[in-house]
Amino acid sequence: MEMDMLKKLQDYCVRHGMPLPTIQISEKKDNRPAPEFEVCCSVASIVRYAKATNKEEAEKRAAVEMLAVISNDAEELVPYEKEVKGQQTKEYLKLRAVLDIFEAERGSVVTGLRLCDRHNYFKNFQPALKQAAFDVIESEGYSSYKDKALSLLTALEITPTTRTLESKAEEPILCIELNCDLDVVFVDLESQIYEQMIEYLRNMLV
């Protein structure tokens, strides 16, 4: 996992008004051929664990586990109990499949751009474009999130590039890239991606 999953998790929490994640080593085992680190990742009362032979990889895996949960099933969560050794949650496998596809097609992109820089980029859009965008966001006259999201991008004069990723999921997984000065890419199920885009831009434009 070359992508900075810890930063992605922190960004997600900031955008959605969640507490910042905490990550700590819960157990370290040295009495085996290869050391094993178990890391605990927490967001409020939500907890996920991951293991790896080095601390950094364990932290990344724990962040992936947490992202898979809070981005899809936040309302249904119950306190997490440790899983049987070697078992992976279905949420992890789903997100891992998406990341594998994304990384294979685009290559691993690691950027030093801070969240505040991304925020300022959208925040500093021309006032007329921002007003047009918020008119779309606040409107209830759209029949679907897709129509609303595409109208929002038109208001901001941003052209998206949309493609369907190959996967075994029953529902199509879309990759939507915004053609702007920043590297902004959304990857999600077709039924969820457009609402995600609207919320992202709503937060970034303020």
pLDDT in tens, 82-139: 333 334 444 444 455 555 544 544 444 444 456 677 778 898 999 999 999 999 999 9
- 37 and 123 both lie in a single domain: no
- 99 and 120 both lie in a single domain: no
Out of 64, 82, 106, pick the residue that ends a domain.
Answer: 106
The pLDDT value recorded for residue 101 is 47
- 99 and 127 both lie in a single domain: no
> Which domain covers residue 24, as residue numbers?
5-106
- 94 and 24 both lie in a single domain: yes
pLDDT digits (tens, 9 = 90+) for 3-46: 578 888 888 887 777 788 888 887 776 666 667 888 888 887 78
Out of 63, 87, 106, pick the residue that ends a domain.
Answer: 106
- 97 and 123 both lie in a single domain: no
- 92 and 119 both lie in a single domain: no
- 62 and 11 both lie in a single domain: yes
Contacts 24+ apart (CB under 8 A), 169-174: 169/94, 169/97, 173/98, 173/101
- 16 and 49 both lie in a single domain: yes
Out of 82, 106, 130, pick the residue that ends a domain.
Answer: 106
What letters, b where the CB count within 10 A reaches 16 and e where it falls short, cover 31-53? eeeeebbbbbbbbeebbbbbbbe
- What is the C-alpha to C-alpha distance for residues 104 and 57, in angstroms, rounded to an integer? 19
- Check: pTM over 0.75? Answer yes or no: no
The domain spanning residue 171 has which CATH number? Answer: 3.30.160
The domain spanning residue 81 has which CATH number? Answer: 3.30.160.20
Q: How many domains does the chain have?
A: 2
- 198 and 144 both lie in a single domain: yes
Closest to 15 (Cα-Cα) out of 94, 78, 71, 92: 71
- 125 and 195 both lie in a single domain: yes
Mean pLDDT for the stretch of residues 39-68:
86
- 38 and 79 both lie in a single domain: yes
- How many CB atoms are closer than 10 A to CB 54? 12
Q: Which residues contact 162 (CB under 8 A, 6 or more apart)?
A: 174, 175, 176, 177
pLDDT digits (tens, 9 = 90+) for 167-199: 777 888 888 999 988 878 888 889 989 998 999
- 149 and 61 both lie in a single domain: no
Looking at every residue in the chain, the average pLDDT score rounds to: 77
